[in-house]
Amino acid sequence: MPLPLLTLVQQQEHAPSGPLTVEPGLMIWTVIVFVALLLILRKFAWPSILGAVEARERALEEQLAEAERNRREAAELLAQHQKLLAEGRAQAQTLLAEARTSAEKERALSMEKARQEQEELLERARRDIGAERDRAVVELRREAVDLSLAAATKLIGERLNSENDRRIVQEYLSSLGTEN
């Protein structure tokens, strides 16, 4: 037996070697080592690797699910924010419209009140002017009566001072005022 092994070794030394040369012994040992390594890895390393991969897969799925939840929540919050913003704008527009209406009403009331006060002042001024005119007329008549009596006294030579004489002169002056 040693001889065939020696011949094998000699043949291998003399045989051309290269990447494309097929060596059956090396091939068998490679397959045996590969199968042994595969069995060892399958028994010891494969469960750990699969566990890590599955844990990573679960973690990624959870992260994706949480990201989806966060996206939905963000979309809902955005919709709520936009709704609140629209409601705020609508309320602001309503308040502005009410303020304008209120200001217009207040201005109209102020204008009406000012117009009424102006008319009251004018009416009071007219009454005051009329009263003053009436007093002036009465005063002028009184003075006219006194002047007439004074002139008549000088003409007649005696003093006319009785109430009857005053009444006659006042009636005469009143008739003069109504004729015009």
Residue 163 confidence (pLDDT)? 74
- pLDDT number for residue 6: 62
How far, in Å, CA of 22 to CA of 16, rounded? Answer: 10
Q: Is residue 159 part of a domain?
A: yes
Tens of pLDDT, residue by residue over 124-162, are: 999 999 999 888 888 887 887 777 776 666 666 555 567
Q: Per-residue pLDDT tens for 63-75?
A: 999 999 999 999 9
1 vs 108: CA distance, rounded Å:
131
* Tokens linked to 137: 């007329």
Number of domains in the chain: 1
Output the pLDDT for position 46.
87
Q: Contact, 142 vs 166, CB < 8 A?
A: no
Answer whether residue 5 is part of any domain: no
For residue 167, being part of any structural domain is answered with: yes
- Domain membership of residue 139 (yes or no) is yes
6 falls within a domain = no
**Range(s) of the domain holding residue 151:** 23-179
Distances (CA, A) of 61 to 19, 55, 66, 68: 46, 10, 8, 10
Instruction: Give pTM, 2 decimals.
Output: 0.38
Across the chain, which has 180 residues, the per-10-residue mean pLDDT values are 59 62 86 94 89 94 95 95 94 93 93 93 92 86 76 61 73 69
